[in-house]
Amino acid sequence: MTEGVFLQPIRRTNIVDDIIDRFKQALISGEFQPGQRLPSEPELGEILGVGRSTVREAVKILAAMGAVEVRRGDGTYISEGVGPGVIDPLLFAVLVEPKNAPDLHEFRLMIEIGNNRLAAQKADEEDFARLEALIDGMQSYVDDGGHDNDVLAEMDLAFHEAILAATKNPVVIKVGSLLNRMFYDSLRQANATTEGVEWTLARHRRIVEVLRTQDPVLIEQVITASLGGIKRSAESGPRVDLAQ
């Protein structure tokens, strides 16, 4: 393995944190690739200039984050799909800080509009069939008397995950999926009442309609109204009309 950002001696006091920071930098720079096997703990300790127990502790934390996979008798590998725990905790704190809610809504709106515009460009009939099947599945669940809030929120989430999949862009899918999970509670709130579920179904149908048009202006209008309604449901206010 060539010597890059990660494979340099550690010089900071908080050694474990430094190793984890180096690891993140190596992922971003491309020094580490999904599926790549890391050197053994003794080798890493020698390269980094730290004890084996320190390396082991750092690896345990990285494994808990979903960044690496420890295979017994085989070694440690970079995960094929790096988990959301690798994100800087400071960034997470910014995203969940209540006072940042208006800025966060603006950020989410920007991302969602872009995701849906890209999905409209890339989606094929298979993608649209998947979206419509998810709507039908949610409708059937409700018609059969289903009302479990978590089930409804997961169905709502699955619809938005299918939109991400329609973009055919791995980066958009990974980042978008992470953001969807971070905003999961807003989906629970949006589907907490019968009225809310009916509005969600209408919202999903309208989104599919505008995605088929591939009209970027219309997509922006509907997504803005959709997120506005979700935001209002969290604030216990009236929802907006999606028929634009």
pLDDT block averages, 10 residues each, the chain of length 244 = 56 75 77 88 91 90 83 88 57 60 86 98 98 98 94 95 97 86 83 93 97 98 90 58 50
Q: How far apart are CA 79 and CA 229, in angstroms?
A: 37
Structural domain ending residue among the three candidates 62, 82, 102:
82
Name the β-bridge partners of 188.
none
Helical H runs in 30-80? 41-48, 52-65
- Residues 201 and 230 placed together within one structural domain of the fold: yes
- Gap between the Cα atoms of 221 and 168, Å rounded: 23
Q: How far apart are CA 118 and CA 122, in angstroms?
A: 6
Residues sharing a CB contact under 8 Å with residue 200, sequence separation 6 or more, in sequence order: 138, 152, 156, 190, 191
Helices 216-234/194-213 angle, 10° precision: 170
CATH of the domain at 117: 1.20.120.530
> So what's the pLDDT on residue 9?
56
**Block residue for tokens 């180096």:** 22
Please report which residue ranges of 125-215 form alpha helices under DSSP H: 125-143, 149-166, 170-182, 184-190, 194-213
CATH label of the domain that carries residue 28? 1.10.10.10
pLDDT (0 to 100) of residue 82: 59
- Interatomic CA distance for residues 172 and 164, integer angstroms: 7
Say yes or no: 73 and 95 in one domain: no
What is the domain extent for residue 151? 89-234
Which residue, of 82, 106, 133, is where some domain finishes? 82
Calpha distance 226→238 (Å, rounded): 12
Selection from 55, 97, 105 nearest residue 75 by Cα = 55
Count of domains forming the chain: 2
How many Å apart are CA 223 and CA 109, to the nearest integer? 8
**123, part of any domain:** yes
DSSP state of 144: T
* Whether residue 170 is found in the same domain as residue 67: no
Let me know if residue 43 belongs to a domain: yes
Same domain, 226 and 173: yes
Buried b (16+ CB within 10 A) or exposed e, 69-92: eeeeeeebebbeebeeebeeeeee
Residues 46 and 138 in one domain: no
- Residue ending a domain, among 30, 52, 82, is 82
* pTM assigned to the model: 0.65
Residue 241 resides in a domain: no
Do both 68 and 154 map to the same domain?
A: no
Q: 77 in helix, strand or coil?
A: strand
